Amino acid sequence: MQPVQYIKLSQLNDQIQDTINARFKGQTYWVVADITNHSFKADKKIHYFELVEKSDKSSAITAKIMGKSWGSGALRILDFESSTGQRFTNNLHVLVQVSVDFHPLYGLSVNLLDIDSSFMLGILEQQRNATLERLVKENDFIHKEGDGYSTLNSRLKLGAVIQRVAVISSSSSAGNEDFRHTMQHNDFGYVFQIDDYHTVVQGDNNAKLFLNKLIEVYNTGIPYDVIVITRGGGSQSDFLIFDNYNIGRAVAKFPIPVITGIGHQKNISITDLMAHTHTKTPTKAAEFIIAHNRSFELGILALQKNIVIKSQQLFLQYHNELNSLKNAVAHNARKLISVQKEELMMARQHIVQTGRSLLNDKKQQLLLTAQLTLQRPQGIIQQKNSNLRHLKANLKIFTSHYLRSRKLQLEDCRKTIKLLSPQHVLSRGYAVVRVHDKIINGAGSIQEGEQIEILLKDAILKSTVNEKIHYDGKHTDL
């Protein structure tokens, strides 16, 4: 058997490298693919990743190749992140310029030389527009009005004063701290009740958690004046949660005004469009609330000023009217006093004359009455003496008859009491029966064989009941 002809692996890889270099050297390609397995070596400023292609129907991976980027390619990635606000990371659908490379040790890969920012922005904008169209089409409480949207939430009227605020944010959000600091250290001394509801506020895959937090706020039943959604900035992908259909719908339908301040400087999210009011940052959201309350206070202060001015005007008007009325009252009073004074003088003269006449009449009547009074007492005394003598005689006769009648009645009572006395009853042949020292009037409580006492007029008989015969008391030989 002849020995097998072979070559070293390095020789084979060198041939592959020569072949690939001969075919692809100096050529670049614009490729559409998805980024996966991304990692970044910050010390070397090198990106490592995989480019994959997925089937439109099944999302299965149909092609894959290793990729890397450094030097000018890494700088182009920085430009991409700056212009789009999107961090270069996994699950991005990108248009990239690559060159083909084969390394004997690391194998086949592509070098990323450039990345198209407008392609990424176009995809995100298409997805965003599709979501907005779906929101309008499927929900009758969302309407497109010009460049904006009218929702059930945006049509709510803010309270005159905002005091109770629910804040949905990340537990570690610096934006939430900025919001709370601005609210609590406002220049006007306004006091707010701020309740935190912490959740994850980045990544489209966390939309369910965010939606549950909105539901939790509603289920508390606390009458919040507004709901504020905050976060402290981040990459484009971090904000994809706020372009989620379900969150946008929930915000649009929420029965409490929603104010957003999610720190997204480059454009407005769907959640911003569905909310009552959107601001650029958490600090701006706080400033909006403070300005709203300040507007109410200024209105009250202006109303107070108008009230003071109107009050002064009314006071001056009524002061002048009162002075006029005072002068009229004084003039009329003097005139009325003069008239009444004359009438009083005439009445005084009339009273004096009438009084004198009346006194004379009464004096004559008193003299006549005095004469009659002196004559009548003697006749009255004689009449009363006669009446007293007659009454004395009648009392004497009546008393004698009354005492005799009462004496006869007392005698009849004495006889009756004597006849009804127990001793007299016993002397007539009757007896009293006692059981256990108690007088009984029937045989119901006496049993055969029981000891009884029989009281006669001259003795007490103690006996035992041998037989008890009942009868109705109607037939007797007594």
**Tens digit of each residue's pLDDT (9 = 90 or more) over 218-265:** 999 999 999 999 976 555 555 678 888 999 999 999 999 999 998 765
Q: How confident is the model at residue 5 (pLDDT cuts 50, 70, 90)?
A: confident
Cα→Cα distances 50→38, 63, 78, 304, 309, Å: 7, 10, 18, 69, 76
- Compute the mean pLDDT over every residue in the chain, rounded to the nearest whole number: 86
Give this prediction's pTM: 0.52
User: Pseudo-torsion of CA 92, 93, 98, 102, nearest 10°?
Assistant: 70
CATH code 2.40.50.140 region(s) in the chain: 9-115
pLDDT of residue 264: 62
Most confident option among 79-93, 184-198, 225-239, 464-478: 184-198
pLDDT of residue 156: 96
pLDDT digits 0-9 by tens, 33-54? 989 999 999 999 999 999 999 8
State which CATH number among 3.40.50.280, 3.40.1000.10, 3.40.50.1000, 3.40.50.2300 fits the domain covering 126-295.
3.40.50.280
Percent of the chain with pLDDT over 70: 94
CATH code 3.40.50.280 region(s) in the chain: 126-295
Confirm if 63 and 52 have CB atoms less than 8 A apart: yes
Sort residue 162 into left (φ over 0), alpha (ψ -120 to 50) or beta: beta
Tell me which residue of 176, 243, 233, 165 sits closest to 204, measured CA to CA. Answer: 243
Cα→Cα distances 477→85, 412, 474, Å: 136, 31, 10
What letter represents residue 430's amino acid? Y
CATH of span 9-115: 2.40.50.140
